[in-house]
Structure 1
Amino acid sequence: MSKDDKIPTGRIRRSSQIGRLAATQAAKQMGTRAANVTRTEEASQAALSKRQLETAEQIVAALGTMKGAAMKLGQMLSFMDVGLVPEEFREDFQAKLAELRDAAPKVSFKEMRKVIEGEYGEKIDEVFETFDPVPIAAASIGQVYKARLHDGRDVAVKVQYPGIGAAVRADMQNLGLILRLMKSVAPGLDPKAMGEEIRERIDEELDYELEASNQRTLARIYNGHPFIVVPQVMTSLSREKVIVSEFVSGRGFEECKQLPDEERNRIGEIIFRFYFGSMYRHHQFSGDPHPGNSMLLDDGRMAFMDFGLFKRLPAHVAEFELELQRLGIQRRGEDLIDHLSKGGWISGKKDYSPDEVVRQFDEFIGWFTKDEEIALTPEYATKVMLEMSDPRSSFFGKMRHETLPPDHLFGRRLETLTLAVLGQLRVTANWGGIAREWIDGSPPRTELGRQEAAFYAGTL
């Protein structure tokens, strides 16, 4: 590994990188605002836009060098258009973030080979018949390679970067600084809530044996499914820092974005069914609806990968959320307030107006509860996410002072990130009509729904 390729693991070194960047940008923004006092409104806006873009670009540069938890934050931002930069610069900024998401970090195969052979305690050619040293994909904490087993099967081998565990844990120490830097260009973000969520799950993501177990669980659930594939895990070859699974190939997210409307809409429905269906039908789901974690296979099925961020939801928690959705759909505002209060989502019921709660229900989750076709776009997703984080919102402005029960936090992440992915795909469907299959047991209205119903009934 060259000097430039090393993953910085020391807290002081990593903290100084982020701290210098945050301090510099804070000073520049203060200077810009001070200068704006004497500028015209148009010139002031132009100056702030320029500074905002510079800050966002430097976030990309900083996150791209870190390869730990910070890179995961960058990946999250790469498909969540949360108004980080002015609209006229957004396309260029998204392209830079996409490069961060998709580019394999420059960690030499020589170093990665040491990790593999260290985990197996034997030479790589004793474990695999062939092993391509060029990575086919990069995860936030590792790289994926294609290999062939001695029995002729092709497999995907996911390997952790050397030293990444120490690097990620150093990132955890510095997470507050990173999130404050992000907040400087996206005031609606809640650094505390985001930081707590990331810290809660990051140790689990470092344990590939746990991830392999998560993947085996979903592979078993979706075995034989008509349009969802979770690659099978080779348990005997998986280790704490190496996961070996069935190799699949197909079209990635960027290619899928270029497909005709009908094909994109079908892909969008599959993505929606996989993430929401896993949560509400099976009470266990991937918490990382990331564009790089799905692939369109040649036979039209969608494969889903990467189960490091994983949540098992108690049945009563899932039922609480489904009842919340039913009450909102039925416009029962007072009952909705009572339900939110009993579940610990709000306190002081008299502070909330039934009409206002129902209106906000529509604003925030109406996209998958209204019984009508809704076109999802990056702009739509941005509007929902900014509304939810806007302290001026009469409902969420109060909710910001409440503490969302931990069991419900990951589900809100799934909702938001799935919306972001579907928005990037620019897909249209009656999402509420689909969701009613698990909200109230309604019969399916789409062809995919009928295929899935046959699968669950065992008649496929």
Structure 2
Amino acid sequence: MDERNSFSGRATRYARVGTNMSGIAAKMIGSRLLGSSIDHDKNAMELARALGNLKGPLMKVAQLLSTIPDALPPEYAAELASLQSNAPPMGYPFVKRRMAAELGPDWLKRYRHFEKAPAAAASLGQVHRAVTPEGENVACKLQYPNMDSAIEADLSQLGLIFNLHKRMRPGIDTSEIRREIADRLREELDYEREARAARLYARTFAGDDTIRVPAVHPDLSTRRLLTLGWLDGRRLLEYKEAPLETRNRIARALFRAYWHPFADIGVIHGDPHLGNYTVFEEGGEAAGINLLDYGCIRIFPKSFVHGVVDLYEGLLHDDEARVVNAYETWGFRGLSRELIEVLNIWARFIYGPILDDRVRTLADGTKPGEYGRREAFSVHQALKEKGPVLVPREFVFMDRAALGLGAVLLHLQAELNFYEIFQEELAAFPPAAVEERQAAALDEAGLPRP
């Protein structure tokens, strides 16, 4: 049966999510019409409960929105930031049917061994460890059923979330955010695209002995099944108390895994979080990181890459004209001096470590759970008075990735000169030639140009 966006799948999803969401919406709208106060804390908790037990994209969307200043009221952002998927994984009888649908009825004969219990579970699928007939350990990422339908149903519910916020006089216009999230979520369902993205990253980090990218097994992969080489490693949090030299080595690899593909070919890993990295060791010591997931790889046009560099250089050299040009290049419109000052609060926070030419932690004195919270509050308050401002779509995952990377790095409390590392990237990969480098890399990997 074709699972792509079936009516029954959407209807089931609407029923599960819509009832809870509609009840919360009705209370909020009713309070506003009657002039009574809205208990945002209580409603936020109810919203988190409504979403938190669902596998799939809506939980992923909620976590993403929690990182964008003023995309949601702060009470909601705090609740949604803590969401984790508590839904149980698919049982083995279900897995067998799913595998047979992807590789045929004799699928098990294509492996020497296939572990029945999943090694990991995520919002869109789960991973099983297996061994190929040649004896190679692999990770089989199997998509949950009806995810196409879930995406479309959940995107409709996302409209309700945004419409609720619109009634509260927000500081930002979220219309482009909605379009960007929709496009990226649909891409994540295509495991063939993810396989090409993994090959792109393998090419990008070829010869780098601190970042490992798993090999793709195309003969054991489909649109809903992705088989990659298994990379042994330990959880990053196991190194929180390691010697500073070790933490610095890991942090440098994490930083490079984010910034190098952007500087080189205008690409970022849009979902950096603790579950997407492990640490590999050599000679009993941490040597680098395994980069595990390639579902959310954002490819930017050259204009956006130039805008990112221009904003950095403008902030670095206090060049207001260059800062304004950068925002306009990204797609911000109708900017006043006051709005630019507000946007610069967030920009200086995101760029902070690479503007500061000294050895430092990523965010001096900040705890992992508080990263960006103070700055987001300042932006939220200011935009309520000066906004609304339309947020360009490319900004969404760039922002998400920067915050995600920062949250991961804070656990290590590494002490590095991030400015120096970034300057090295810019010198090695001048932005003027990014389009040419990008075209060659994407064509080789089989990915479309932006």
* Secondary structure class of the residue paired with 1:303: strand
Q: What's 1:384 paired with?
A: 375
Q: What's 2:434 paired with?
A: none
Q: 1:401 Cα shift?
A: 2.4
Distance 1:76 1:312, change over 3 A: closer
Which structure 2 residues correspond to residues 165-244 of structure 1 after superposition, within 5 A?
165-179=148-162, 191-244=174-227
Distance 1:304 1:79, change over 3 A: farther
* Contact 1:228/1:274 (<8 A) preserved: yes
Which structure 2 residues correspond to residues 115-130 of structure 1 after superposition, within 5 A?
115-130=98-113
Q: What's 2:94 paired with?
A: 111
Q: 1:32 Cα shift?
A: 8.9
* Contact 2:121/2:127 (<8 A) preserved: yes
Distance 1:36 1:173, change over 3 A: closer
Distance in 2 between residues matched to 1:11 and 1:239, nearest whole Å: 23
Q: 1:71 aligns with which of 59, 72, 75?
A: 59
Distance in 2 between residues matched to 1:354 and 1:240, nearest whole Å: 43
Is 1:295 the counterpart of 2:278? The answer is yes
Higher relative contact order (CA 8 A, sep 6+): 2
Q: 1:277 aligns with which of 252, 260, 263?
A: 260
* Contact 1:294/1:302 (<8 A) preserved: yes
Q: Which amino acid aligns with 1:434?
A: I
* Contact 1:79/1:421 (<8 A) preserved: no
Distance in 1 between residues matched to 2:378 and 2:169, nearest whole Å: 13
Q: What's 2:316 paired with?
A: 329
Q: Which amino acid aligns with 1:430?
A: N
Q: What's 2:440 paired with?
A: none
* Contact 1:231/1:246 (<8 A) preserved: yes
The two structures have a TM-score, normalised by structure 2, of: 0.77
Q: What's 1:318 paired with?
A: 305
Q: 1:106 Cα shift?
A: 3.2
Q: 1:212 Cα shift?
A: 0.5
* Secondary structure class of the residue paired with 2:228: strand
* Contact 1:252/1:296 (<8 A) preserved: yes
Is 1:368 the counterpart of 2:322? The answer is no
* Cα deviation 1:70-123 (Å, max 9, x = unaligned): 121355479999995599xx7xx79963xx25x573322211221211111232
Q: What's 1:448 paired with?
A: none
* Cα deviation 1:326-381 (Å, max 9, x = unaligned): 1221111133324444x253445664698887666434532332223244333242
Distance 1:425 1:336, change over 3 A: same
Distance 1:175 1:30, change over 3 A: closer
Q: 1:273 Cα shift?
A: 1.4
Q: Which amino acid aligns with 1:133?
A: K
Q: 1:131 aligns with which of 114, 122, 127?
A: 114
Q: What's 2:446 paired with?
A: none
Q: What's 1:58 paired with?
A: 46
Distance in 2 between residues matched to 1:358 and 1:65, nearest whole Å: 37
* Cα deviation 1:19-56 (Å, max 9, x = unaligned): 4433444566689999999xxxxxx9xx95xx61x444
* Contact 2:174/2:390 (<8 A) preserved: no
Count of equivalent residues: 413
Q: Which amino acid aligns with 1:383?
A: R
Distance in 1 between residues matched to 2:345 and 2:145, nearest whole Å: 50
Q: 1:224 Cα shift?
A: 3.2
Q: 1:320 Cα shift?
A: 3.1
More off after superposition, 192-201 vs 345-354: 345-354
Q: What's 1:40 paired with?
A: none
* Contact 1:229/1:304 (<8 A) preserved: yes
* Secondary structure class of the residue paired with 1:143: strand
The two structures have a TM-score, normalised by structure 1, of: 0.75
* Secondary structure class of the residue paired with 1:298: strand
* Secondary structure class of the residue paired with 1:157: strand
More off after superposition, 63-72 vs 262-271: 262-271
Structure 1 vs Structure 2 CA RMSD = 4.0
Q: 1:143 Cα shift?
A: 0.5
Q: Which amino acid aligns with 1:325?
A: Y
Distance 1:313 1:385, change over 3 A: same
* Secondary structure class of the residue paired with 1:231: coil
* Contact 2:357/2:420 (<8 A) preserved: yes
Q: Which amino acid aligns with 1:414?
A: A
* Contact 2:271/2:404 (<8 A) preserved: yes
Q: What's 1:145 paired with?
A: 128
* Contact 1:85/1:185 (<8 A) preserved: no
Distance 1:172 1:128, change over 3 A: same
* Contact 1:176/1:191 (<8 A) preserved: no
Distance in 2 between residues matched to 1:169 and 1:220, nearest whole Å: 33
Q: What's 2:17 paired with?
A: 18
Structure 2 unaligned spans of 5+:
1-5, 430-450
